[in-house]
Amino acid sequence: MVRDLVIKVAEDDAFFSPSGISSRHLGITSEIKTKQLTANLKLRALLSTTKTAEVNKIASTIATKLNECRYMRVLDLSRSIFEMPLTGLLYQIGSLQHLTYLGLSNTHPLIQLPPSLEKLNNLQILDVSYCQNLKMLPPYIVSLQKLRVLDVGHCDSLEYLPKGLEKLSKLEVLLGFRPARSNRTEGCRISELRNLTRLRTLGLQLTCGDEIGDNEVHALENLKELQFLSISCFDSHGSDLIVKVDKLCPPQQLDELCLNFFPGKMSPTWLNPVSLPMLRYFSVSSGNTAEMHQSFWGENNVLWNIEALKLESLSDLGMEWMMLQEVMPLLQIVNVSWCPQLESFPIEDAGFRGGVWTKEEPQDL
Q: What is the CATH number of the domain that holds 200?
A: 3.80.10.10
DSSP 51-118: PTT--EEE-HHHHHHGGG-TT-SEEE--SEEESS-HHHHTTTGGG-TT--EEE-TT-BT-SS--GGGG
Residue type, 143: S
Strand-pair category, 355-358 with 333-337: antiparallel
Residue 300 lies in a domain: no
Residue 344 lies in a domain: no
- Give the pLDDT of residue 108: 83
- Give the pLDDT of residue 324: 96
- Give the pLDDT of residue 18: 54
Number of domains in the chain: 1
Residue 244 lies in a domain: yes
Burial label for 299, CB within 10 Å (0-12, 13-18, 19+), is: exposed
Residue 362 lies in a domain: no
Burial 51-85 (b: 16+ CB within 10 A, else e): eeeebbebeeebbbbbbebeebbbbbbbbbebeee
- Give the pLDDT of residue 139: 94
Q: What is the mean pLDDT of each run of 10 residues along the chain (365 residues)?
A: 53 51 70 60 79 74 76 89 78 90 90 90 96 91 96 92 95 96 91 96 95 93 96 89 93 97 96 97 96 92 96 95 96 96 92 91 62
- Give the pLDDT of residue 9: 45
- Give the pLDDT of residue 41: 66
- Give the pLDDT of residue 328: 97
Report which of 135, 117, 225, 140 is spatially closest to residue 178, judged by C-alpha positions.
135
Residue 267 lies in a domain: yes
Residue 215 lies in a domain: yes
Structural domain boundaries, residue 94: 19-294
Cβ–Cβ contacts within 10 Å for residue 47, how many? 15
Beta strands in the chain (DSSP E): 25-28, 45-48, 56-58, 74-76, 80-82, 101-103, 125-127, 149-151, 173-177, 201-205, 228-232, 256-260, 281-285, 308-312, 319-320, 333-337, 342-343, 355-358
Cβ–Cβ contacts within 10 Å for residue 295, how many? 17
Cα separation, 317 vs 340, whole angstroms? 8
Residue 361 lies in a domain: no
- Give the pLDDT of residue 303: 96
Cα separation, 88 vs 270, whole angstroms? 47
Listed in sequence order, the residues at least 6 apart from 167 whose beta carbon sits closer than 8 Å to its beta carbon are 142, 143, 145
- Give the pLDDT of residue 65: 75
- Give the pLDDT of residue 111: 86
- Give the pLDDT of residue 282: 98
Residue 303 lies in a domain: no
- Give the pLDDT of residue 37: 60
